[in-house]
Amino acid sequence: MFRDTIPIVNPPNNSDQYGWGYYGFFLQVTFTLPPMTPDALGPTLHALARAHRARLAALLAPHGLHPGQDLLLLAIWNTPGMGQSDLATHLGVEPPTVTRMVQRLERAGMVERRPDPHDARGRLVFATPRSRMLEPMVRRAWSSLDELLIGELGDAEARKLQKLAEAATGVLRESSSLK
């Protein structure tokens, strides 16, 4: 349910629905939006995710990175020496996906794998000095996208969007684990 005001020129006498405001008389109106249809939300969220990824890709490409690789690098910059299974869990992807990402980043000289001293079969992933040089740019890319959205939506709406997106993510993750 939403409330809005409609400016009017000549209000009738003795009505609680009418008031006086900065711009003159107004009519207080309450209305209800039509219910969401099952096919309206998903395409909108998909379009948002694609637009965000495309903008991020444009910021990362000049530096030889692709979306997804930046998240892996951010994880090991924040927590050096993560195992690949820990990275998969952290990123919410399958272990083979992390293996391919690490291999590509290793070939590009961005990460290196070292033996895990506590697990003979395990390998830990570390950032190289080359990837550390890109860290400020990657963090700036993410910040610039946040600043763009906050600038357009305003702080309060951006916070609402974040809370709603976190709630929706939790619902979808929870429902996928039930299957």
Phi and psi at 68, nearest 5°, equal 105, -45
Half-sphere exposure of residue 146: CA atoms within 13 angstroms, side-chain side: 9
pLDDT in tens, 51-85: 999 999 999 999 999 999 999 999 999 999 999 99
pTM beyond 0.75, yes or no: no
**Host H or E run for residue 19:** strand 18-21
For residue 73, which of 29, 105, 95 has the smallest C-alpha distance?
105
Q: What is the CATH number of domain 41-177?
A: 1.10.10.10
Residue 129 reports pLDDT greater than 50: yes
| Residue ranges per structural domain of the chain | 2-31, 41-177
